[in-house]
Chain A
Amino acid sequence: NAGVTQTPKFQVLKTGQSMTLQCAQDMNHEYMSWYRQDPGMGLRLIHYSVGAGITDQGEVPNGYNVSRSTTEDFPLRLLSAAPSQTSVYFCATGSGGPDAVGPYNEQFFGPGTRLTVL
């Protein structure tokens, strides 16, 4: 099993460009989430999903869009990249919780995408 995979590993964008970060999982988890990690800081939740067709905002959602059409995939879209979005982005999956679809159990993280916006 691959677990949680993210592509690309590295990306450089110019201000104003858009792009999609990909996240895929083969763990059959309903819960998926996106975080950003800035230097010297912990992870901050951007968006999360509790199943196909259901998404909600986290702590820092502005400038990002998500959708969830399948259990396996949870792409993160940057609409118009800004230098403040330079960060490392992590996708994670989890299981257990209200109606068994939250992160009540351990979460599994992808290897991250390092994004630089010039």
Chain B
Amino acid sequence: SQQGEEDPQALSIQEGENATMNCSYKTSINNLQWYRQNSGRGLVHLILIRSNEREKHSGRLRVTLDTSKKSSSLLITASRAADTASYFCATVDTGGFKTIFGAGTRLFVKA
């Protein structure tokens, strides 16, 4: 069974708006990663947050991690049409060898 649950499953916004995606997980983790997948393509790593971190920024991306609630959120600010893709959270277990992906959030940014 998949560890990550993502919310919402789909999100449609206008260009310039912010997009927020949430991820929940079930077990202890070493880190949580967010990936983007354009239709029919491989996954591209966006940002990684370790279990002892609470917030990280990278360009227009902001990720938070709440280990007490076993949840994370990804915020994309000032969305662009090129941000249209599926976004996945992935958790790496404390043993460090297994990565579990959520089902993803499909983001559509309208120009």
A residues near B, CB below 8 A?
Answer: 31, 33, 35, 40-45, 48, 50, 56, 58-59, 90, 92, 94, 97-98, 102-112
> Contact at A41–B100, with CB atoms within 8 Å?
no
The distance in angstroms between the C-alpha atoms of A41 and B90, with both chains bound, is 13
| Least CB separation from A99: chain B residue | B96
| Least CB separation from A56: chain B residue | B97
Interface residues of chain B: helix, strand, loop or mixed (majority): strand
Could you list 17 further interchain pairs (A-B, Cβ under 8 angstroms) beyond the known A43-B88, A45-B98, A45-B99?
Answer: A31-B97, A42-B90, A43-B43, A48-B98, A50-B97, A56-B97, A59-B98, A94-B99, A97-B97, A98-B96, A103-B97, A104-B96, A106-B45, A106-B48, A107-B43, A107-B45, A111-B42
Closest beta carbon of chain A to B60's beta carbon, Å: 18
> Contact at A40–B103, with CB atoms within 8 Å?
yes
How many A-B Cβ pairs are below 8 Å? 73
Number of contact residues on B: which range applies? Answer: 20 to 34
Return chain B residues, CB-CB under 8 Å to A35. Answer: 101
> Contact at A104–B42, with CB atoms within 8 Å?
no
Known A97-B96, A98-B95, A104-B92; contact A44-B42, beta-carbon cutoff 8 A: no
